[in-house]
Chain A
Amino acid sequence: MKLKAIFALAAAALALPVAGADPALAQGEQFYPALVYRTGAYAPNGIPFANGIADYLALVNERDGGVNGVKFVIEECEFGYATDKGVECYERLKGKGSTGAAVITPLSTGVTFALTEKAPIDKIPLLTMGYGRSESADGSVFTWNFPLLGTYWSAADILIQHVAKKGSLKGKKIVLVYHDSPYGKEPIPVLQDHAKTYGYTFEAIPVTSPGVEQKAVWLQIRQGRPDYVFLWGWGVMNSTSIKEAAAVNYPRDKMYGVWWSGAEPDVLPAGDGSKGYNALALHPAGTVYEVHKDVLKYLHERGKGARREDVGSVLYNRGLINAMLVVEAIRTAQGKFGNKPMTGEQTRWGFENLNLTAARIKDLGMDGLVSPIKVSCADHEGARKARIHQWDGKQWVYTTEWIEADTKYLRPKMEAAAKAYAEEKKITPRDCSKPQS
């Protein structure tokens, strides 16, 4: 009995400081649940993204005293890019903080697919900037999903537009090397559709996660000699693809990656073998923007930043933009609901009414880093533009201007897919022509 009592006391003593230190318990603060992967096969890509988010929210706290006086409190949950663990993290964090989770940014299409059905029940919006379900851009059905700045269907369309400009695609061959997961399969319907329209032959070759075994894939590519190879990889799969392409002498300038296959960890491991490799870019890399000066001044020079070497990398900048969208959605929501921590439902309203003009982006110190975005009930994508950048051996260099996805083709396709989803899940779509509360 005595022993039990000692154990109970010890457990209580251990638990007390932990409970006291729980960041999410503080009133008047906005809780941000960060699903991150800082370990495992995808860590090289997960770390800079997570650090970008952490730095931006810390910057808003340090520089501005929070958003309208409401400071952010972050709690990270490591899920190693595993869908089951990601859902577990979501369940663990969704109820924390004074308002519960106001938004979830999973950085995983698998987790996004899994949470798409949970989000409406828990009333937490899903911000999936540049990833997630493509048809979730239709906000009338996917009330809680926000694939801001571009879906995979938009990405596939932009890539085809770009290569078609280089010369007719009739009789050409395009191969998609994709991560064998919901993420990798997303562009296939668009590339198949376009094959009929543009007259190219299309082949999709899956690569099993994590994607370090690609010898057979690239031997097939060497034998098939496609005119272009599109890469829909993530993490180590990207660098392996570029290395294998170099190993079979496939020209890197004929390779085009999606925006998740166009960061520094994707090209650096292959060294000179990456020269000439192209990828879509939602935004540039670099530290020449005002926001970076602030990040360095308010955080890193004071020893409060995340990892210094990440600042300015492609995925770090994407994390910054991701966090900026969260902050601005909350700011927008505060305009209607008052300057206090926002609930998930209120933040969802903020996302749906988000309107970042060029002037506002300049005020945020992100002029040139992100393009204007306007979200609405019907359009949860907000913007669908990208540029192509090419790795010159040392840095990413833009080779095109902004290319916009063809909404005339994509919108009906998205609406049809969203309608099918609504019928399957028995969802009554909202009428976006009417004013939304």
Chain B
Amino acid sequence: MGPFIEVVLGGLLAGVLYSLVALGFVLIFKASGVFNFAQGAMVLFAALSLARLMSDELTVAHYLGAAAVLGLAVGYGVVAAWRRLGPASAPGPRVGWGVIAAFALIGVAVAASFGVRGWPGWVAIPAAAAIMGLLAVAIERLVLRPLVNQEPIILFMATIGIAFFIDGFGQTIWGSGIYNLPLGIPKDPMFLLESVFDGGILVNKLDIFAAAIAGVLVAVLAVFFQKTRIGRALRAVADDHQAAQSVGIPLNQIWIIVWTVAGFVALVAGIVWGSALGVQFSIALVALKALPVLILGGFTSVPGAIIGGLIIGMGEKLAEVYLGPTLGGGIENWFAYMLALVVLLFRPQGLFGERIIERI
């Protein structure tokens, strides 16, 4: 019984990691109806940015560039807060840009004074988040805006292009080695119930940490989507681009917001995956694990991504351990898809997906 519980628990915790990536897909699909093939590349890019900024091995240009991006983001936040809190005294566009540029310059100056030295986590994480924000702006300006109101398949194809670009761009800027994330996340194994089962039940501390992170993330996202004005606007845009625009929802801003949020989720997933595997190219491939999770859980449901991840994680590990030896092993990858396909047979919209009936 002990080994069985161990496999189930290990599978559930691995599933949490899949859920983290699947969440990024769900966010963009829910808010823009686009299946973002580049989510895996974004996870890699976010993790690479963070890991490399925390290392001492970059050129000074890397640190200055990242500091400028962080400064831009902070400046933008300050101006936005200023406009919201004190509309009467709010600056015009020219002053606003001046403030933002000033923050970017401050960032560069501070980074220059540090020279070539790895940044601590509390600076590097916001910097990586700011880089993901900038990436979101770039994607919206250069790819999505020209394609507004196109068929979803066109947008999907565009995201395939984005994925290839980010994969290559990330490796060109940050390098293509294996990098550690020195965030101090515990990784030691724990052995529970040693008095009950021979050898105890193995649980990895990193998996527990990932589960806690996923829990917090889901709670935050649920509140964001259900309780905030922006969240409701996101859902409106997802239903119909044109109708949303006609009632005054600024489509461009919404897309930037949703891609930024997906970028943050990618960063969180990158931190967890990067801690487990080391930050390296394969992280981008692991994201494909999210596909069966999405098929199972539904493309539009945040809880679906979580439950789907848990089922896929547990199912594939049980299959590998108990069916694998009979079938020649190495079955967990295709088993995940088979599990998802079986669900599709009975519930085409996935376990938690929205059932959409269209009149034609």
Contact = CB atoms under 8 A, between A and B. Distances in A.
A328 to B, nearest CB: 31
Interface string A201-212: 000111110111
A213 B333 contact: yes
A213 B329 CA distance: 13
Interface stretch (A166-174, A263-271, A331-339, A353-361): A263-271
A247 B6 CA distance: 13
Contacts, number: 112
User: Which among A212, A239, A246 has the greatest number of chain B C-beta atoms within 10 A?
Assistant: A212
B168 A39 contact: yes
B55 interface: no
User: Which among B167, B171, B202 has the greatest number of chain A C-beta atoms within 10 A?
Assistant: B202
Contacts of B178: 44, 236, 239, 265, 268-269
User: Which among A216, A220, A248 has the greatest number of chain B C-beta atoms within 10 A?
Assistant: A216
A207 B277 contact: no
A267 B168 CA distance: 25
Contact of A208 (B167, B176, B333): B333
B185 to A, nearest CB: 12
B189 A269 contact: no
A44 B329 CA distance: 27
A219 B330 contact: no
Given A210-B285, A223-B3, A265-B178, A239 B278 contact: yes
B321 A219 contact: yes
B329 A205 contact: yes
A193 B3 CA distance: 31
Given A44-B176, A247-B204, A236 B280 contact: yes
Contacts of B189: 246-249
Interface in B1-33: 3, 6-7, 10-11, 14
Contact of B177 (A44, A243, A271): A44
B317 A43 contact: no
B320 interface: yes
Contacts of A219: 3, 6-7, 10, 202, 317, 321
Contacts of B126: none
User: Which among A219, A240, A268 has the greatest number of chain B C-beta atoms within 10 A?
Assistant: A219
Contact of A215 (B3, B167, B317, B333): B317
B277 A212 contact: yes
Interface of B: 3, 6-7, 10-11, 14, 167-168, 171, 176-178, 180, 187, 189, 199, 202, 204, 276-278, 280-283, 285-286, 289, 316-317, 320-321, 324-325, 328-330, 332-333
